[in-house]
Amino acid sequence: VPNGYLGQDCSAGAYAYDVDRAKKLLAEAGYPNGVEIKSVVSNISAQQPIMEIVQAQLAKAGIKLNMEVVDHATYQAKSRQDLSGLVFYGAARFPNADTYLTEFYDSAAAIGAPGAMSNFSHCSVADDAIRQARMEPDAQKQLALWKDAQVKIHGDVCAVPLFGLKQVWARGDRVNYGYALKGALNLQPPITELTTVSAP
């Protein structure tokens, strides 16, 4: 769950970067010479360069990431057909834990499930906590359930969070939104029928 969202809890800590341990685990799993993973990658500038960095980091541990670089629409379609062994995904959602936990970590949202959405990892370890939290009327108990879900997801390594991207908005003095901007749940300030642009 992203930093700053209601219910976000990072108390489980971050994953350690340990190339030697990764190699050892691969060998124990029967891959002493490494392993290859296919990943469908979007060619947009917000994804391909990041996946190239991930590819280089994985290579240090003997994990070869074979990237099939495609246009963004094809990437979305192929990801939802379970054709990618590793999926890079970014999202902006309503700022509480339930939106991320339900969409990305409830098994009902896994590829092929009736409510398929974005659970590319086929994660189910926190289903009970996620579903209980969604119906819990007591705010403190709900926070505890969200925390429990995040600890389980972290322990099962359902996903590896990479970064949080902050939105930066800029506008010229000639633009008047037509309202006082105090914040927005959109990816940009909404432009409405009240917005005007004055002549230079």
| Closest by Cα among 38, 50, 44 to 88 | 50
Is residue 39 over pLDDT 90? yes
Mean pLDDT along residues 43-67? 96
Instruction: Provide the pLDDT for residue 169.
Output: 79
Q: Tens of pLDDT along 84-95?
A: 999 998 888 888
Is residue 176 over pLDDT 80? yes
Mean pLDDT along residues 34-54? 96
- Cα–Cα distance measured from residue 133 to residue 137, given in angstroms and rounded to the nearest whole number: 8
- Cα–Cα distance measured from residue 159 to residue 156, given in angstroms and rounded to the nearest whole number: 9
Nearest-10 crossing angle of helices 139-156, 127-135: 160
The mean pLDDT value of the chain amounts to 92
Is residue 166 over pLDDT 90? no
What are the residue ranges spanned by the domains of the chain?
Answer: 170-200
Is residue 54 over pLDDT 90? yes
The pTM (predicted TM-score) of the whole model is 0.84
* H or E, element range at 74: helix 72-79
pLDDT band at 125 (very low <50, low <70, confident <90, very high): very high
Q: Which of these ranges, 74-78, 120-124, 143-147, 158-162, has the smallest mean pLDDT? A: 120-124
Instruction: Provide the pLDDT for residue 77.
Output: 92
149 touches 37 (CB < 8 A): no
Mean pLDDT along residues 119-135? 94
Q: Which of these ranges, 97-101, 139-143, 160-164, has the smallest mean pLDDT? A: 160-164
- How many Cβ atoms from other residues are within 10 Å of residue 160's Cβ? 11
Mean pLDDT along residues 146-153? 97
